[in-house]
Structure formats: structure tokens, C-alpha cells
């Protein structure tokens, strides 16, 4: 399983040290939540912070855009050092084109589905994506409660992946804990994003090891 700690729950007064801690940890990717206060009711961080963290980070930057008109910012996030750019289905009018533009910039292209957005909608676009991120909370905040129907969505996506894009990575984001992580992995999740359940630990690297032990 690929583990992607979400720095939304990290200490923003010492983000550089948090990145260095993640470099030394067993974490695989670093998940960065970009919010615009329009698509979601919260504002977080953007291009300048990704740019500042990129030279420090020794692991891929998995950038989750919770913004409207994501296609306008592809070049900026590529130049800032994003390795994966994940955009929401709900705000993408020309998804094939936008995914192609993300790939052309050398990044992995990801589609994100809100909890209410149905997996079968991906039928005609799945082969153009590297990652599908299933939101298991309504995006906007860390520390929310996991929405239980996410397991069913993972299973639906596994079936579609086998048919259309066997190399696709299925990522799950929101409310992931040590309790539900084993169930998510056995349902077919390849990547788990974890914010609060990692950064609330007294010993964060040890908590990361606990997640990584899950098979
Ligand atoms: C929520 C973000 C998540 C968030 C997850 O909108 O997309 O990445 O940081 O945090 P937890 O694991 O605390 O739900
Ligand atoms: Zn996220």
C-alpha cells in the first residue's frame, strides 16, 4: 500500500521540518491539499507553498486541487514541482483535454470524485488517468468522519479498472484511520491519504510505520 500523509494536518509554523520528518519516515508520497474557498468552504495553500516545499521533499508531491477551473493552473503547479495533479470531476468540463495537458507537463494525472459522484461516470475517461482519488468525506477539512459507502465505490472502481486501465492507482482520501485502513486495502485501495490519524499521534513516524504494516 502506498501511504500519502496529508500535510493539511501538519504544523504550518514548521512545514519545512515536517517535510524533512516525512523524508526520513516510511511515507511514500506527500499529499498537499489546495483549496480555493469556492469549490470547498475553506482556503488553504497554493502554488508558492508547493514551490517552497519542492526542493525539500524527497518524495512525490501528490497535489489535490479543490479549486474551480483547475485547468488554468496546470503550468503553475508543474513549474512549482507537483508530481501528481489531481482535479475534481465536478469542476471539469473538458476532462480528457485537461488530463492530457497534465500528462504533457510530465505529471501523473488524477481524477477526484466527491462522495456523491458515481463511479460509472468514469467509463469514458478512465483510460486517460493515472490515478482516481475517491473522496471518503466531503472535501474541505481534515479530521472528518469516514463515509461508509466508500467501500462500495472502491469495489466498483476495481472492476472498471480491471476492464479499462489495469495500471490505474485507486486512492482514498478522508477519515482514514488504523481501524478502516485494512478494509480499504482489501477492498482494492492502492493509496491511502491520511491526515489527522497520522499528525495527531505523539510519535508521527511510528504511526506511519503502523499504517505501512497494513497489507
Ligand atoms: C480533505 C482533504 C484531505 C484531508 C484528509 O478535504 O482532501 O486530504 O487532509 O484528512 P483526514 O485524514 O484527517 O480526514
Ligand atoms: Zn486531499
Give residue limits of the domains in the chain.
2-212
Question: How large is the average pLDDT for residues 53-71?
Answer: 98
Question: How large is the average pLDDT for residues 104-128?
Answer: 98
Give the distance (Å) from ligand 2 centre to CA of residue 64. Answer: 5
Nearby residues of 92 by Cβ (< 8 Å), 6 or more positions away: 70, 71, 98, 111
Output the pLDDT for position 215.
83
Does residue 64's CB lie within 6 angstroms of at least one atom of ligand 1? yes
Nearby residues of 213 by Cβ (< 8 Å), 6 or more positions away: none
The answer to whether residue 85 scores a pLDDT higher than 90 is yes
Beta partners for residue 118, in sequence order? none
How confident is the model over 23-32, as pLDDT tens digits? 999 999 999 9
Q: Where in the sequence numbering do the catalytic residues fall?
A: 33, 173
Give the distance (Å) from ligand 1 centre to CA of residue 23. Answer: 20
Percentage of the chain modeled with pLDDT above 90: 100
CATH code for the domain defined by 2-212: 3.20.20.70
Output the pLDDT for position 75.
98
Question: How large is the average pLDDT for residues 186-198?
Answer: 98
Percentage of the chain modeled with pLDDT above 70: 100
SS3 133: strand
Q: What mean pLDDT is reported for the chain?
A: 98
- Residue 108: count other Cβ atoms within 10 Å of its Cβ: 17
- DSSP one-letter code for 117: S
Cell of 62: 501528490
Give the distance (Å) from ligand 2 centre to CA of residue 184. Answer: 16
Question: How large is the average pLDDT for residues 11-22?
Answer: 98
Question: How large is the average pLDDT for residues 145-161?
Answer: 98
Output the pLDDT for position 195.
98
The answer to whether residue 162 scores a pLDDT higher than 90 is yes
In 3D space, the residue among 170, 172, 159 whose CA is nearest the CA of residue 123 turns out to be 159
Does residue 31's CB lie within 6 angstroms of at least one atom of ligand 1? yes
Nearby residues of 55 by Cβ (< 8 Å), 6 or more positions away: 81
How confident is the model over 120-148, as pLDDT tens digits? 999 999 999 999 999 999 999 999 999 99
The answer to whether residue 5 scores a pLDDT higher than 90 is yes
For the whole model, what pTM was predicted? 0.98
Give the distance (Å) from ligand 1 centre to CA of residue 181. Answer: 14
Which ligand 1 atom sits closest to the C-alpha of 195?
12
Test site for ligand 1: of 141, 146, 171, 172, most ligand atoms within 8 A of the Cβ? 141
Residues with CB in 5 Å of ion ligand 2: 33, 64, 173
Amino acid at each position: 500500500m502506498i501511504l500519502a500523509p496529508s500535510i493539511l494536518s501538519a504544523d504550518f509554523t514548521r512545514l519545512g521540518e515536517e517535510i524533512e520528518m516525512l523524508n526520513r519516515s516510511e511515507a511514500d508520497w506527500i499529499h498537499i491539499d489546495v483549496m480555493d474557498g469556492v469549490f470547498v468552504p475553506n482556503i488553504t495553500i497554493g502554488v508558492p507553498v508547493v514551490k517552497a516545499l519542492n526542493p525539500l521533499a524527497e518524495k512525490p508531491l501528490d497535489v489535490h486541487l479543490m479549486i474551480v477551473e483547475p485547468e488554468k493552473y496546470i503550468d503553475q503547479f508543474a513549474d512549482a514541482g507537483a508530481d501528481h495533479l489531481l482535479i475534481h470531476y465536478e469542476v471539469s468540463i473538458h476532462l480528457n483535454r485537461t488530463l492530457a495537458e497534465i500528462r504533457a507537463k510530465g505529471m501523473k494525472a488524477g481524477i477526484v470524485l466527491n462522495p456523491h459522484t458515481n463511479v460509472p461516470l468514469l467509463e469514458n475517461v478512465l483510460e486517460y488517468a493515472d490515478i482516481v482519488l475517491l473522496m471518503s468525506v466531503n472535501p474541505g477539512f481534515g479530521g472528518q468522519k469516514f463515509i461508509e459507502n466508500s467501500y462500495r465505490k472502491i469495489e466498483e472502481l476495481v472492476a472498471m479498472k480491471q476492464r479499462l486501465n489495469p495500471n490505474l492507482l485507486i486512492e482514498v482520501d478522508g477519515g482514514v484511520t488504523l481501524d478502516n485502513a485494512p478494509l480499504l486495502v482489501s477492498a482494492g485501495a492502492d493509496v491511502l491519504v491520511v491526515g489527522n490519524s497520522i499528525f495527531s499521534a505523539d510519535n508521527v513516524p511510528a504511526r506511519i510505520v503502523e499504517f505501512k504494516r497494513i497489507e
